Amino acid sequence: MNRCAVIGIGQTKHASKRDDVSLAGLVREAAGRALEDAGLRYADIDAVVLGKAPDMFEGVMMPELYLADALGAAGKPMLRVHTAGSVGGSTAIVAAGLVRSGVHRRVLTVAFEKQSESDAMWALSPRYPFQPPLLAGAGGYFAPLIRAYIRRSGAPAEVGMQVAVKDRRHALANPYAHLHLADISLEAVRASPMLWDPIRYLETCPSSDGACAMVLADEDAAARAPAPPAWVRATAMRSEPTMFAGRDQVNPRAGRDCAAELYRQAGITDPRREIDVAEIYVPFSWFEPMWMENLGFSPENEGWKMTVEGVTALGGALPVNPSGGVLSTNPIGASGMLRFAEAALQVRGRAGAHQVEGARVALGHAYGGGSQFFAMWIVGSERP
Amino acid sequence: MLRPLTRDVAIVSFAEMPAVRREWERDEVEMLVPVITEAIEGSGIGRKEIGFTVSGSSDFLTGRPFSFVIALDAVGAWPPIEESHVEMDGAFALYEAWVRLQHGDIDTALVYAFGRSSLGEVRDVLAMQLDPYYVAPLWPDSISLAALQARALLDSGRATEHAMAEIAARSRSRARSNPNAQVAGAFDVDALLAEPYLVSPLRRHDCPPISDGACAMVLVAGDRARRAKTQLAWIRGIDHRIEPHALGARDLTRSPSTALAAERAGVSAGAVDVAEIHAPFTHQEIILRDALGLGPDVDVNPSGGALAANPLMVAGLTRVGAAARKIMDGSARRAVAHATSGPCLQQNLVAVLAAEPEAVR
């Protein structure tokens, strides 16, 4: 397998409504910044891989067709990935695959969502024959899983609120983040309306317009890049069935298997010690402790202790979501790629005010569906 | 190919559901279970040995988000599997699988596709693929856009309505030997030409049927493929290219993306016995034949092509499967398969299949 590196990263300013740009303008804002970071132009790119969540979020069927012009894809191969909420991660993995296989040398990968064009709650809540209605979107689906986690682990009720405060404080150091809640506090979270017990309004991700882009390159192209690259050390995807009684939706096997494969590829035996920073897909606050366990950073039922002890805060032993994470920015289709890109920014030393000092190995994580779909990568500052 | 590749990849099995105008009784999982089972059993590879699974479909056909999520239940993804999905025709999922197999750490892949065009007004649904600001609000339906392209081709002098009717008659006549075809029979060209226009200059026979369908394919690579005891269809080259979306920025009578993909896939490196071309409209076969550089002696669309069955998101992968079958049954040594996506042939994939593994380096 050929080596692959991230040599360019760009993202938009995320907001609930980017009505100053079209869909094309949104993706170009991110793609242009990624190319600038890589010191390249559209003409230097061999192929484009686009990812986004359901097309109904904007009401454009297969929008990669329309976006081909804006992304300079004419005359090139263009792929469109869709793997539910994990799509931003799996899109980056498909793009990295084009480089690692030796098919292409420089690939532009872009993920976006412009949620203000439609209504995600509506798009996520259709009625299907012979299936119970999902009702009220993703929160309604995940709240029972969170309750099950709290019951299993005996975690104190405040843990979710602490995650919500921590990630919003992190976001204050990230100029691209959607939410900048300067006066966030435990009291404010506690006082916010209960949406899906136990998920309060301030423990929920926002609905964002935004895009993220990366330029992935082979070793030769990485050597010519103007800024230090982030080397892709491992990638993994795992999926499990939706209708299967043997699933543990609180601590899904697909996530555990995906992490195990990732660590195997990267030669990591003690993730808590060997990984310096993690960008994890946490759309509802309680998913931080849940994923800490699923990813093997903590023994089962003890992930919440990492939050309580401050391990996952900037300055802690394993900062989680220094960018502010999905709780601060959620253009759904791009949210996974933002995790992957933020991980890469950290090991490149280019994360600005939310940089984790001395970060050399970082994890990017995304999940989707009803926790059936996982995509992860590990990037490092040193060439593997 | 842009760069030297290290691994030979072959199609070992292919299965498809007979296309129907409207699948009333089965949902996507029930449509897929038989074809996935048939493809896996036909491959001689155990279900748990599949290294990578990837599918193609579109939520806008089903009218629900995440339609591929439930479809995955047809695979039996337990223990969890390495899996991905493209919101495209299954032929592009095949491309992703081929790239994945180049990595060298796995030897087998399952590719599948499903599409139910019957659940909505597909002519109008496809209008949602267009530029959402300047074109889609005008609701140009897919047949009207194809008609614009056909008119341009007729005006260029490279096609006649008679030649288009001949393509329809030939395709549906060939489809009589394809048990999975939806529209097959003997049609008289003059009688076809006596029919009224549907959208001038297209008559009903120039257009594809509305189809529901599903298909699945298993790939093997490297030594594992070389040890196979059956005739495989080796993928000697595969490439895809996209064109600008803006219709006014393109010469609709040409398909430069097909020509470029064909060049990259190595179509001209040897004689072509059979070509399966994804041309939903009769005039598009003329454009694509030109772009692929196929001579008059090439047997085009012995399956009947998309004019005999056109389940959206499936029909492209089906072309590859149909071409592979010709290699696997020994009736062809070298075949070309083509898949298209988007309005007026915006995006095109070309694969070269052969009975021998030596790749074009």
Confidence tier at B64 by pLDDT (50, 70, 90): confident
Q: Is B140-207+236-354 the same fold as B9-121+210-226?
A: yes
Report pLDDT for B151.
98
Quick one: pLDDT band at residue B2, thresholds 50, 70, 90?
Answer: very low
Question: What are the backbone angles phi and psi of residue A119, rounded to the nearest 5°?
Answer: -135, 105
**Mean pLDDT, rounded, for B281-301:** 97
Low-confidence winner among B218-232, B278-292, B298-312 (lowest mean pLDDT): B218-232
Distances (CA, A) of A269 to A230, A260, A266, A277, B282: 21, 9, 9, 16, 59
In words, the CATH class of domain B9-121+210-226 is alpha beta
pLDDT of A125: 73
Question: For chain B, how far is it from start to end, CA to CA, in angstroms?
Answer: 7
Instruction: For chain B, give the mean pLDDT.
Output: 95
pLDDT band with cut points at 50, 70 and 90 for residue B357: confident
pLDDT digits (tens, 9 = 90+) for B228-267: 889 999 999 999 999 999 999 999 999 999 999 999 999 9
pLDDT at A124: 76
Give residues 129 to 148 of A whose Cβ lies within 8 Å of B. 129
> ipTM value of the model?
0.97
Boundaries of every domain in chain B = 9-121+210-226, 140-207+236-354
Token couple for B358: 């030596």
A25 touches chain B (CB under 8 A): no
Q: What angle do CA A285, A286, A291 make, to 5 degrees?
A: 110
pLDDT the model gives residue B226 = 87
> From the DSSP assignment, how many helices (H) and strands (E) are in chain A?
14, 11
pLDDT at A197 over 50: yes
Mean pLDDT of chain A: 96
The string of pLDDT tens digits covering residues A75-95 is 999 999 999 999 999 999 999
- Whether B358 shows a pLDDT value over 90: the answer reads no
The pLDDT of residue A19: 96
| Residue A129 with chain B: CB contacts under 8 Å | 27
CATH class in words for B140-207+236-354: alpha beta
Q: Note whether A161 and B103 are within 8 A (CB).
A: no
From the list B2, B60, B96, the residue facing A55 with the nearest CB is B60
**Cα–Cα nearest to A286, from A299, A273, A304:** A304
pLDDT tens digits, one per residue of A16-41? 999 999 999 999 999 999 999 999 99
Give the tokens for residue B95: 């491309």
The answer to pTM > 0.95 is: yes
Instruction: Give kind and range of the element (H or E) at residue B144.
Output: helix B142-156
Q: What is the pLDDT of residues B7-58, one digit of tens each?
A: 999 999 999 999 999 998 999 999 999 999 999 999 999 999 999 999 999 9
Average pLDDT (B280-291) is 98
pLDDT digits (tens, 9 = 90+) for B101-110: 999 999 999 9
Which residues 319-348 of B are in CB contact (within 8 Å) with A? 341-343, 346-347
CA atoms of B331 and B32, how far apart (whole Å): 28
Q: Nearest Cβ partner of B99 from A22, A103, A128?
A: A103
| CB A361, CB A380: distance < 8 Å | yes
Q: Per-residue confidence at A316, pLDDT binned at 50, 70, 90?
A: very high
Residue A159: pLDDT over 50? yes
**What DSSP state is assigned to residue B136?**
G
Measure the CA–CA gap between A370 and A365, rounded to whole angstroms: 15
pLDDT mean over B116-139:
95
Q: How far is CA A225 from CA A39, A229, A359, A380, B260, in A?
A: 7, 7, 20, 16, 29
Please report the domains of chain A, with CATH numbers, ordered by start residue. Answer: 5-118+207-223 (3.40.47.10)
Are B70 and A54 an interchain contact pair (Cβ–Cβ within 8 Å)? no
Give the residue among B108, B131, B126 at the shortest CA–CA distance from B43.
B108
For B55-67, b/e burial (b = at least 16 CB within 10 A) is bbbbbbbbebbbb
Chain A contact present for B121, CB below 8 A = no
| A100/B106 Cα distance (integer angstroms) | 14
Q: Is pLDDT above 70 for A334?
A: yes
**Average pLDDT of the segment spanning A267-279:** 98
Q: How far is it, in rounded angstroms, from Cα A245 to Cα B87? A: 28
Tell whether the model's pLDDT for residue A132 goes beyond 90.
no
According to the model, what pLDDT value does residue B5 have? 59
CA torsion, ordered A266, A272, A278, A281, to nearest 10 deg? 100
- Asked if A241 lies within 8 A of B346 by C-beta distance, the reply is no
Give the helix/strand (H/E) hosting B156: helix B142-156
> What percent of chain A shows pLDDT beyond 70?
98
Cα dihedral A147, A148, A152, A156, rounded to 10, equals: -10
- Helix, strand, coil shares of chain B, percent, nearest 5, are 40, 20, 40
pLDDT at A130 over 70: no
Predicted local distance difference test score (pLDDT) of residue B4: 47
Q: What is the DSSP letter of A59?
A: T
* pLDDT band per the 50, 70, 90 thresholds, residue B361: very low
